[in-house]
Structure 1
């Protein structure tokens, strides 16, 4: 038993180390401001130096500030008579930018520094993936398979090597899910202990403080504090946790399982999955509350009439700001050459070109034309296999009501289906990388189906061998596919012919390079 527990950590740690090497090696390449890094890495620097986001030199895309930063000159803030005159309107909560800022504080304001936190979050998510898959399957082998597949996803790799917010959203969502699953096991164990102690009422026992559900609330609150879209996962996982409580009380034979869950479990669930996330979200705005330079802060008015007025007026100004952000997202309809519709995301029809410099000299690759690309695209072999696995999970859940299939499908739906509303009702500008929070659940679907393919431990040897061969072949195909795409995921300099060979669909390119 002790050896099993030990390998349950050693295996996932080794897989995370492998994924970490892929993410940290050459992390500072390309030495350029990639895609929307121009916003987030400067907002992060402003947060760690000013406490709030401030306006930079240059136009909307801040090219002057970009050039100064890459040249090592950090005199990038506009000089304003009053702090409020330099306040920058930002459309996302601060936590993800604080995390980016941590890397800048540790390693400096350069590409490695502003990408460090993303690479760390991506690496840790591989470890969490392996551990939660192991917990759900009770198999270290399948847990390591989950971590390995996540480490080999192209979109996960690219976002782990780019200072955007989405990898942090994915990290906190996955961590929250892992905590909810751990709470399920903890609660069932505690329920069995309480029932074994003696006769209880029809409603069953109180379970007391539930540390894993509290941790889930913190993680999911952090997800919302990175991007508002974390709210979809928070709602889904909160409902899922309560449904599991009902199922646990019913499974042990209590006469009033639903009343027991609502009477004893719901109050704690409300505290952990509503109040704690709300407090976490508010705490991420501390810099805005305690400084005078934030957007819409109205510092002079807030400090004019005592502490009670300060609190009331600050909250009022903050709520007004949140409504402005909501209005911004509701009216985001600008055309972008790499925008796409959510129905097309699982098929990888329209990825996002993060980086493609047009002026590489022939000497860079030894050919007439050279390319250096960062293409935000998933590993096709993984994504297409996952799409089939998700369909299989639907059939499995309908036939067996297996909780693992249901939880995986719910998590995938919470991250994908809401975008259809924005596509149909709002015609919002959207991108493929909005799928990154559900990539772990696509991997988890593959892991669960792989477990079915392997069969039970007492299955006939021939069945186990055939299943192992199929699962091994899948992992090998994903590895080969990832290795083939790696040069255009990690900004390696290759010939243009080699770059073209890796553009598996014409829709992956806006126009043919000249």
Structure 2
């Protein structure tokens, strides 16, 4: 018998004992079908890779990037050729941290300055995100099948699909946000397992604060990853804040579940310092480290601004000049973003507000071409387009699914829904704080994986478990299978406008289901 099996057996035995103390939770610290889980994960990931990499170099704008690729792709190339930092002050839109551009540059280093080069890293990020979602939902639900359903939903989500096939930033933000979330979920299970060991050994009551839980490498990894999210876009900071609260909640629940006399104080003294270290200090260090080429450069934007545009004295003169220069640089970026408001006259025909994102009511047109010179659709004139559309069969169920998730989280106290919704709302709610700002549907890319988690958990509830009765489970499986068939069919229908395949103007009109899609 393995050490883990012994711990589970000991905890289960303890749970059955009758006594004045509280019972401990079941010894459930993660899925046990390891081999089957990895086989299913590999299969789903392979499908994701095929869809993300097929025709990855198509379309282009006459061999050049499309839409906002025009900002980030040349910046990534200049990162590659200029010392891993944009060092040309002429780049007026160097307004995001460098991590995603550095990753795009890796693809350009491998394949050159062409569509394969500037989209390769995005496709890898989109594929790995699917893998992570399968593993995370499998752990949340303790079901490899539900994990596979979550991965399949993300594969056929048009929002995630298109974002993984363009050299832009948000797919990397989604990747790091999901990866950090996954680390915290594993950390929760590991800490419960450690607490069960202490409980089985009869040491819970040694201190009213509960035991120290040792080094928490998974939470440390979560801090590194959320730091990379912040190094991709500043909106990664929202993941940091929400995930820190989630992690503290896990710690309080863990100590309460195992009968610690003072769980809140125990969390504050035993766990909070580790939380601050892992989810505040480490992300800050990772964020600063992402600027290492800029720190090492002589020609980076605003690298030596102290003594030129910033005085050398003042209350913060003790701060190293390099950090003061970065602070000034960041201030100019913040000023740029603050100016992107509707009230300042900034309007875009495809902008949207966050209340439209859950249902994908206002997609974005990334690429469009029509005319007699386009052939292949069987008509005299053809249309080619890439539109960022969330698959309607998924997103038009957003509100009932979210309401169910909130019900399960608040009334049913189901930690799985609480966790997944934390990630979802971290990517959505902060945008409501400044509705005057220009916003776009591609900001919702970071929400998509977490919505697939909530939707998969909901389908898991519909399917039910074997103990609910064979007939009940078979009916649930049939409902879930039919729904997935509809989602896949919807994705196939949208495929031409997600990949710029030539279609007739009539077909193009048929693809635009809502007036807000035009």
Secondary structure at the counterpart of residue 489 of structure 1: helix
Distance 2:362 2:355 in 1: 11
Query: Aligned pair in 2 of structure 1 residues 438, 85: CA closer, same or farther (>3 Å)?
Result: closer
Choose from 321, 324, 327 the match for 1:313: 321
Q: Are the equivalent residues in 2 in contact too, given 1:159–1:167 (CA < 8 A)?
A: yes
Query: In the alignment, does 2:152 pair up with 1:148?
Result: yes
Q: Which residue in the other structure is 2:458 paired with? A: 449
Q: Which moved more, 1:471-480 or 1:407-416?
A: 407-416
Query: In the alignment, does 2:364 pair up with 1:332?
Result: no
Secondary structure at the counterpart of residue 266 of structure 1: helix
Q: CA deviation at 1:365?
A: 2.8
Post-superposition Cα deviations, 1:421-480, rounded to whole Å, max 9, x if no partner, equal 111xxx111011111111111111111111111112211111001100111111101000
Query: In the alignment, does 2:213 pair up with 1:184?
Result: no
Q: Which residue in the other structure is 1:11 paired with? A: 40
Q: CA deviation at 1:491?
A: 1.3
Query: Aligned pair in 2 of structure 1 residues 53, 286: CA closer, same or farther (>3 Å)?
Result: closer
Choose from 190, 193, 198 the match for 1:194: 198
Q: Are the equivalent residues in 2 in contact too, given 1:389–1:446 (CA < 8 A)?
A: yes
TM-score when scaled to structure 1?
A: 0.89
Distance 1:191 1:381 in 2: 42
Q: Map residues 9-408 of structure 1 onto 2, 5 A cutoff.
A: 9-32=38-61, 33-51=65-83, 54=86, 86=90, 88=92, 90-199=94-203, 200-298=206-304, 312-333=320-341, 334-359=346-371, 361-408=373-420
RMSD of aligned alpha carbons: 2.1
Distance 1:150 1:362 in 2: 31
Secondary structure at the counterpart of residue 458 of structure 1: helix
Q: Which residue in the other structure is 2:517 paired with? A: 508
Q: Are the equivalent residues in 1 in contact too, given 2:394–2:487 (CA < 8 A)?
A: yes
Query: In the alignment, does 2:469 pair up with 1:460?
Result: yes
Q: Which moved more, 1:189-198 or 1:461-470?
A: 189-198
Post-superposition Cα deviations, 1:380-428, rounded to whole Å, max 9, x if no partner, equal 00112243211111122232111111112222111111111111xxx11
Distance 2:293 2:85 in 1: 9
Q: Are the equivalent residues in 2 in contact too, given 1:351–1:376 (CA < 8 A)?
A: yes
Query: Aligned pair in 2 of structure 1 residues 253, 126: CA closer, same or farther (>3 Å)?
Result: same
Number of equivalences: 474
Post-superposition Cα deviations, 1:458-509, rounded to whole Å, max 9, x if no partner, equal 1111100110011111110100000000110011112222121111112212
Post-superposition Cα deviations, 1:334-372, rounded to whole Å, max 9, x if no partner, equal 211000111112222211100002445153433122011
Q: CA deviation at 1:6?
A: 0.6
Q: CA deviation at 1:209?
A: 0.7
Q: Are the equivalent residues in 2 in contact too, given 1:342–1:420 (CA < 8 A)?
A: yes
Post-superposition Cα deviations, 1:249-297, rounded to whole Å, max 9, x if no partner, equal 0111111111111111111111100011001111111111101121111
Distance 2:32 2:89 in 1: 62
Gaps of 5+ in 2: 6-30
Q: Are the equivalent residues in 2 in contact too, given 1:371–1:496 (CA < 8 A)?
A: yes
Distance 2:74 2:197 in 1: 52
TM-score when scaled to structure 2?
A: 0.88
Which has the larger share of helix? 1
Q: Which moved more, 1:247-256 or 1:385-394?
A: 385-394
Q: Are the equivalent residues in 2 in contact too, given 1:292–1:299 (CA < 8 A)?
A: no
Distance 1:53 1:84 in 2: 9
Q: Which residue in the other structure is 1:429 paired with? A: 438
Q: Which residue in the other structure is 1:486 paired with? A: 495
Q: Are the equivalent residues in 1 in contact too, given 2:130–2:154 (CA < 8 A)?
A: yes
Distance 1:184 1:366 in 2: 56
Distance 1:113 1:359 in 2: 29
Q: CA deviation at 1:301?
A: 6.0
Q: CA deviation at 1:30?
A: 0.6
Q: Which moved more, 1:322-331 or 1:216-225?
A: 322-331
Q: CA deviation at 1:150?
A: 0.3
Distance 2:41 2:88 in 1: 48
Q: Are the equivalent residues in 2 in contact too, given 1:84–1:292 (CA < 8 A)?
A: no
Q: Which moved more, 1:310-319 or 1:183-192?
A: 310-319
